[in-house]
Amino acid sequence: MSVKVLIVDDSALMRKLFTELFEKEGFIVRVARNGEEALTKAVEFEPDCITLDINMPVMDGMTCLAMLKKLYTCPIIMVSSLTQKGATITLEALALGASDFVLKTGGTVSRDISDLEIPLINKIHALTKTGKPQRPTTKTPPVVKQKVVRSNKNVPFEVVLVGVSTGGPKKLEHLVANLNPSFPVPIVISQHMPASFTCALAKRLDGLSSLNVVEVDSKMSIKPGTVYLAKGDADLAFSKAGSEVFARPVPSSPSFLWHPSVDRMVDSALTCYKPLSMLCVQLTGMGSDGVTAMSKAYKEGATTIAESEATSVVFGMPKELIEAGCASFVLDSPKVASKLNALCR
Catalytic residue among 80, 81, 192, 267: 192
Catalytic residue among 80, 81, 99, 165: 165
Q: Which residues pair with 229 in a beta bridge?
A: 189, 215
Is 268 marked active-site? Answer: no
Catalytic residue among 235, 289, 308, 333: 289
Is 289 marked active-site? Answer: yes
**Bridging pattern class, strands 212-216 and 226-230:** parallel
Is 165 marked active-site? Answer: yes
Is 246 within 8 Å of 223 (Cβ atoms)?
Answer: no
Catalytic residues: 165, 192, 289
